[in-house]
Amino acid sequence: MKKDVHPKNYRMVVFKDMSNGTTFMTRSTVKTKDTIEMDDGKEYPLVKLEISNTSHPFYTGKRKLVDSTGRVDKFMNKYKKHYEKRKKQ
């Protein structure tokens, strides 16, 4: 194995799922400007996630549509006429 491949500056970092507010803490080297105060009274670096295992449909078993950029709305508006015509048949 190669020596000195992995970074040595690991620290505790909090990751927060912005879709449901769940947080978890783990060691990481990710750089971030945000911080959060946890239950133990200490302040930790914060990484904001759009989706995690607590909100992803694969892990939750729920068919929940997560669309933060409006792609589904754009698609539905684009093909609205076709969808309505097919629905009437």
Note the pLDDT tens digit of each residue in 21-34.
899 999 999 999 99
**Bridge partners of 17?**
49
Per-residue confidence (pLDDT) for residue 63, from 0 to 100:
65
Closest residue by Cα to residue 19 from 57, 61, 66, 62: 66
Q: How confident is the model at residue 50 (pLDDT cuts 50, 70, 90)?
A: confident
Per-residue confidence (pLDDT) for residue 58, from 0 to 100:
67
Give the count of alpha carbons within 13 A of 62, CB side only: 8
Per-residue confidence (pLDDT) for residue 3, from 0 to 100:
87
The answer to whether residue 74 scores a pLDDT higher than 80 is no
Look at 48 and 78; give whichever has higher pLDDT: 48
Beta strand spans in 1-89 (E): 11-17, 23-28, 35-37, 43-49
Inter-axis angle of helices 71-78 and 80-88, nearest 10: 60
Q: Which residue type occupies 49? A: L
